[in-house]
Amino acid sequence: MENKVVVITGASSGIGESTARVLAKQGNRVVLGARRGDRLEKIVKDIESTGGAAICKVTDVTNLSQVQDLAKFALDRYGRIDVWINNAGLMPRSEFIKGRVEEWDRMIDVNLKGTLYGIDAALPTMRKQNSGQIINISSVAGHSISIGSGVYSATKFGVRAISEGLRQEEAAAKSNVRVTVISPGAIATELPDHVKDPETKKTLDKFYADYAVSADRVANAIAFSINAPEDTTMNEIVIRPTSQR
Protein backbone atom coordinates (compact mmCIF):
# COMPACT_ATOMS: atom_id res chain seq x y z
CA MET A 1 0.00 0.00 0.00
CA GLU A 2 1.38 3.40 -0.99
CA ASN A 3 1.51 6.26 1.44
CA LYS A 4 -1.07 8.59 -0.12
CA VAL A 5 -2.31 11.97 1.07
CA VAL A 6 -6.09 11.71 1.30
CA VAL A 7 -8.38 14.67 2.03
CA ILE A 8 -11.83 13.76 3.35
CA THR A 9 -14.71 16.22 3.79
CA GLY A 10 -17.41 15.39 6.33
CA ALA A 11 -14.85 13.39 8.29
CA SER A 12 -16.29 14.08 11.75
CA SER A 13 -18.73 11.13 11.74
CA GLY A 14 -20.14 8.19 9.83
CA ILE A 15 -18.62 7.18 6.49
CA GLY A 16 -16.03 10.00 6.49
CA GLU A 17 -14.77 9.15 9.97
CA SER A 18 -14.64 5.43 9.24
CA THR A 19 -12.82 6.06 5.95
CA ALA A 20 -10.24 8.22 7.72
CA ARG A 21 -9.59 5.47 10.26
CA VAL A 22 -9.37 2.68 7.65
CA LEU A 23 -7.10 4.63 5.29
CA ALA A 24 -4.81 5.82 8.10
CA LYS A 25 -4.48 2.25 9.31
CA GLN A 26 -3.34 1.28 5.80
CA GLY A 27 -0.50 3.82 6.01
CA ASN A 28 -2.05 6.81 4.25
CA ARG A 29 -1.81 10.36 5.60
CA VAL A 30 -5.33 11.67 6.08
CA VAL A 31 -6.54 15.27 6.16
CA LEU A 32 -9.93 15.65 7.83
CA GLY A 33 -12.40 18.48 7.22
CA ALA A 34 -15.85 19.14 8.73
CA ARG A 35 -17.52 21.80 10.88
CA ARG A 36 -17.25 20.07 14.28
CA GLY A 37 -13.62 20.67 15.21
CA ASP A 38 -13.81 18.85 18.55
CA ARG A 39 -14.87 15.65 16.81
CA LEU A 40 -12.12 15.99 14.21
CA GLU A 41 -9.45 16.54 16.86
CA LYS A 42 -10.52 13.43 18.75
CA ILE A 43 -10.31 11.29 15.59
CA VAL A 44 -6.87 12.72 14.79
CA LYS A 45 -5.67 11.89 18.31
CA ASP A 46 -7.05 8.33 18.04
CA ILE A 47 -5.27 7.82 14.71
CA GLU A 48 -1.98 9.24 16.03
CA SER A 49 -2.18 7.08 19.15
CA THR A 50 -2.05 3.99 16.95
CA GLY A 51 0.88 5.29 14.89
CA GLY A 52 -1.11 6.81 12.01
CA ALA A 53 -0.71 10.23 10.39
CA ALA A 54 -3.67 12.62 10.44
CA ILE A 55 -4.36 16.35 10.56
CA CYS A 56 -7.62 18.28 10.58
CA LYS A 57 -9.07 21.66 9.77
CA VAL A 58 -12.54 23.01 10.47
CA THR A 59 -14.19 23.35 7.06
CA ASP A 60 -17.69 24.21 5.92
CA VAL A 61 -17.99 22.87 2.37
CA THR A 62 -20.59 25.50 1.48
CA ASN A 63 -17.83 28.11 1.77
CA LEU A 64 -15.48 28.01 -1.24
CA SER A 65 -12.60 29.79 0.47
CA GLN A 66 -12.73 27.35 3.41
CA VAL A 67 -12.58 24.41 1.00
CA GLN A 68 -9.64 26.00 -0.80
CA ASP A 69 -7.97 26.56 2.60
CA LEU A 70 -8.39 22.85 3.35
CA ALA A 71 -6.53 22.00 0.13
CA LYS A 72 -3.80 24.52 0.96
CA PHE A 73 -3.52 23.08 4.48
CA ALA A 74 -2.99 19.57 3.03
CA LEU A 75 -0.37 20.87 0.59
CA ASP A 76 1.47 22.93 3.22
CA ARG A 77 1.63 20.00 5.65
CA TYR A 78 2.02 16.99 3.36
CA GLY A 79 3.18 18.47 0.02
CA ARG A 80 0.62 16.83 -2.26
CA ILE A 81 -3.00 15.70 -2.63
CA ASP A 82 -3.35 12.18 -3.99
CA VAL A 83 -7.03 11.61 -3.19
CA TRP A 84 -9.84 14.04 -2.44
CA ILE A 85 -13.07 12.54 -1.09
CA ASN A 86 -16.20 14.71 -1.40
CA ASN A 87 -18.14 12.98 1.34
CA ALA A 88 -19.86 15.77 3.32
CA GLY A 89 -23.61 15.49 2.86
CA LEU A 90 -27.01 15.61 4.46
CA MET A 91 -30.40 14.06 3.79
CA PRO A 92 -33.31 15.95 5.38
CA ARG A 93 -35.90 14.17 3.24
CA SER A 94 -39.58 15.16 3.02
CA GLU A 95 -42.38 15.34 0.46
CA PHE A 96 -42.51 18.46 -1.74
CA ILE A 97 -45.94 19.45 -0.37
CA LYS A 98 -44.34 20.07 3.05
CA GLY A 99 -42.50 23.02 1.48
CA ARG A 100 -39.30 22.62 3.51
CA VAL A 101 -37.45 24.94 1.14
CA GLU A 102 -34.61 25.76 3.54
CA GLU A 103 -33.73 22.06 3.66
CA TRP A 104 -33.79 21.85 -0.15
CA ASP A 105 -31.38 24.80 -0.30
CA ARG A 106 -29.12 23.19 2.29
CA MET A 107 -28.94 19.86 0.41
CA ILE A 108 -28.09 21.67 -2.82
CA ASP A 109 -25.44 23.76 -1.04
CA VAL A 110 -23.73 20.90 0.80
CA ASN A 111 -24.27 17.85 -1.42
CA LEU A 112 -23.92 19.51 -4.82
CA LYS A 113 -22.04 22.79 -4.44
CA GLY A 114 -19.79 21.31 -1.74
CA THR A 115 -18.76 18.60 -4.20
CA LEU A 116 -18.06 21.19 -6.91
CA TYR A 117 -16.00 23.28 -4.49
CA GLY A 118 -13.96 20.21 -3.57
CA ILE A 119 -13.25 19.52 -7.24
CA ASP A 120 -12.23 23.15 -7.75
CA ALA A 121 -9.89 22.99 -4.73
CA ALA A 122 -8.17 19.71 -5.65
CA LEU A 123 -8.11 19.43 -9.44
CA PRO A 124 -5.42 22.05 -10.33
CA THR A 125 -2.99 20.35 -7.92
CA MET A 126 -3.75 16.92 -9.38
CA ARG A 127 -3.25 18.25 -12.92
CA LYS A 128 0.18 19.60 -11.85
CA GLN A 129 1.07 16.29 -10.21
CA ASN A 130 -0.15 14.43 -13.29
CA SER A 131 -1.92 12.07 -10.89
CA GLY A 132 -4.74 12.01 -8.39
CA GLN A 133 -8.17 10.64 -7.59
CA ILE A 134 -11.43 12.39 -6.84
CA ILE A 135 -13.98 10.26 -5.04
CA ASN A 136 -17.53 11.58 -4.86
CA ILE A 137 -20.11 10.05 -2.54
CA SER A 138 -23.47 9.67 -4.24
CA SER A 139 -26.12 7.19 -3.01
CA VAL A 140 -28.50 4.47 -4.11
CA ALA A 141 -30.84 7.49 -4.10
CA GLY A 142 -28.65 8.81 -6.91
CA HIS A 143 -29.84 5.86 -9.03
CA SER A 144 -33.53 5.72 -8.10
CA ILE A 145 -36.17 7.98 -6.58
CA SER A 146 -38.71 7.29 -3.87
CA ILE A 147 -41.40 9.33 -2.12
CA GLY A 148 -39.73 12.11 -0.13
CA SER A 149 -36.34 11.69 -1.80
CA GLY A 150 -36.89 14.08 -4.74
CA VAL A 151 -34.43 16.81 -3.72
CA TYR A 152 -31.89 14.49 -2.07
CA SER A 153 -32.00 12.27 -5.17
CA ALA A 154 -31.58 15.33 -7.41
CA THR A 155 -28.37 16.19 -5.57
CA LYS A 156 -27.09 12.62 -5.71
CA PHE A 157 -28.02 12.15 -9.41
CA GLY A 158 -26.21 15.46 -9.86
CA VAL A 159 -23.09 14.14 -8.13
CA ARG A 160 -23.03 11.29 -10.65
CA ALA A 161 -23.49 13.69 -13.59
CA ILE A 162 -20.66 15.90 -12.33
CA SER A 163 -18.44 12.85 -11.84
CA GLU A 164 -19.05 11.51 -15.35
CA GLY A 165 -18.34 14.93 -16.87
CA LEU A 166 -15.13 15.17 -14.85
CA ARG A 167 -14.12 11.62 -15.79
CA GLN A 168 -14.49 12.36 -19.51
CA GLU A 169 -12.56 15.63 -19.26
CA GLU A 170 -9.66 14.11 -17.29
CA ALA A 171 -9.48 11.10 -19.62
CA ALA A 172 -9.38 13.45 -22.64
CA ALA A 173 -6.66 15.54 -20.99
CA LYS A 174 -4.64 12.40 -20.15
CA SER A 175 -4.13 13.86 -16.68
CA ASN A 176 -4.07 10.49 -14.90
CA VAL A 177 -6.77 11.83 -12.57
CA ARG A 178 -9.10 9.01 -11.60
CA VAL A 179 -12.78 9.70 -10.86
CA THR A 180 -14.77 7.37 -8.64
CA VAL A 181 -18.39 7.50 -7.49
CA ILE A 182 -19.46 5.49 -4.47
CA SER A 183 -23.22 4.93 -4.06
CA PRO A 184 -24.08 3.44 -0.66
CA GLY A 185 -27.41 2.02 0.45
CA ALA A 186 -28.47 2.12 4.11
CA ILE A 187 -25.41 2.68 6.30
CA ALA A 188 -25.63 3.17 10.08
CA THR A 189 -24.48 6.78 10.58
CA GLU A 190 -25.89 10.06 11.90
CA LEU A 191 -27.47 10.79 8.48
CA PRO A 192 -31.13 10.01 9.42
CA ASP A 193 -30.79 11.99 12.69
CA HIS A 194 -31.11 15.24 10.76
CA VAL A 195 -34.48 14.39 9.18
CA LYS A 196 -36.94 16.84 10.74
CA ASP A 197 -40.20 15.95 8.97
CA PRO A 198 -41.87 13.61 11.52
CA GLU A 199 -43.54 11.20 9.06
CA THR A 200 -40.44 10.78 6.94
CA LYS A 201 -38.32 10.35 10.07
CA LYS A 202 -40.54 7.52 11.33
CA THR A 203 -40.32 5.66 8.02
CA LEU A 204 -36.57 6.20 7.68
CA ASP A 205 -35.76 5.20 11.26
CA LYS A 206 -37.55 1.88 10.69
CA PHE A 207 -35.78 1.39 7.35
CA TYR A 208 -32.36 2.02 8.89
CA ALA A 209 -33.14 -0.19 11.91
CA ASP A 210 -34.16 -3.02 9.56
CA TYR A 211 -31.33 -2.79 7.02
CA ALA A 212 -28.36 -0.55 7.85
CA VAL A 213 -24.83 -1.98 7.95
CA SER A 214 -21.78 -0.32 9.45
CA ALA A 215 -19.80 2.49 7.82
CA ASP A 216 -16.58 0.48 7.55
CA ARG A 217 -18.24 -1.46 4.69
CA VAL A 218 -18.17 1.72 2.60
CA ALA A 219 -14.72 2.72 3.92
CA ASN A 220 -13.33 -0.60 2.69
CA ALA A 221 -14.90 -0.09 -0.76
CA ILE A 222 -13.28 3.35 -0.91
CA ALA A 223 -9.92 1.82 0.09
CA PHE A 224 -10.36 -0.83 -2.63
CA SER A 225 -10.83 1.89 -5.26
CA ILE A 226 -7.77 3.78 -4.01
CA ASN A 227 -5.61 0.65 -3.99
CA ALA A 228 -6.39 -0.29 -7.62
CA PRO A 229 -3.43 0.11 -10.02
CA GLU A 230 -3.04 3.73 -11.19
CA ASP A 231 -3.92 2.83 -14.81
CA THR A 232 -7.29 1.45 -13.69
CA THR A 233 -10.26 3.20 -12.09
CA MET A 234 -13.27 1.89 -10.22
CA ASN A 235 -15.60 4.48 -11.75
CA GLU A 236 -18.80 3.46 -9.97
CA ILE A 237 -19.41 1.27 -6.96
CA VAL A 238 -22.93 0.60 -5.63
CA ILE A 239 -22.83 -0.96 -2.19
CA ARG A 240 -25.98 -2.07 -0.36
CA PRO A 241 -26.80 -4.16 2.69
CA THR A 242 -27.47 -7.62 1.27
CA SER A 243 -31.06 -7.60 2.51
CA GLN A 244 -31.94 -4.10 1.26
CA ARG A 245 -34.46 -4.16 -1.60
Catalytically active residues are 152
Identify the residue among 41, 46, 53, 62 touching ligand NAP (CB under 6 A): 62
Closest among 207, 209, 223 to 18, alpha carbons compared: 223
Please give the residues from 76 up to 95 whose contact with ligand NAP meets the rule CB under 6 A: 87-91
Contact of 66 with 119, CB cutoff 8 Å: no
Identify the residue among 163, 184, 213, 217 touching ligand NAP (CB under 6 A): 184
**Does 59 sit near ligand NAP (CB under 6 A)?**
yes
**Does 110 sit near ligand NAP (CB under 6 A)?**
yes
Identify the residue among 5, 24, 31, 34 touching ligand NAP (CB under 6 A): 34
For the residues of 18-85, what is the DSSP string, one character each?
Answer: HHHHHHHHTT-EEEEEES-HHHHHHHHHHHHHTT-EEEEEE--TT-HHHHHHHHHHHHHHHS--SEEE
**Does 14 sit near ligand NAP (CB under 6 A)?**
yes
Phi, psi of 137 (to 5 degrees): -95, 110
Residues facing residue 29 across a β-bridge: 5, 53
Contact of 60 with 10, CB cutoff 8 Å: no
**Does 71 sit near ligand NAP (CB under 6 A)?**
no
Identify the residue among 133, 149, 153, 189 touching ligand NAP (CB under 6 A): 189
Q: How far is the CB of 174 from ligand NAP (least distance, A)?
A: 30
Identify the residue among 2, 3, 27, 36 touching ligand NAP (CB under 6 A): 36
**Does 139 sit near ligand NAP (CB under 6 A)?**
yes
Mention every residue, 6+ apart, whose C-beta is less than 8 A from residue 206.
Answer: none
**Does 61 sit near ligand NAP (CB under 6 A)?**
yes
Secondary structure in 3-state letters for 20-38: HHHHHHCCCEEEEEECCHH
Please give the residues from 197 up to 226 whose contact with ligand NAP meets the rule CB under 6 A: none
Q: Which residues form the interface with ligand NAP (CB under 6 A)?
A: 9-16, 34-36, 39, 59-62, 87-91, 110, 137, 139, 184, 186-187, 189-191
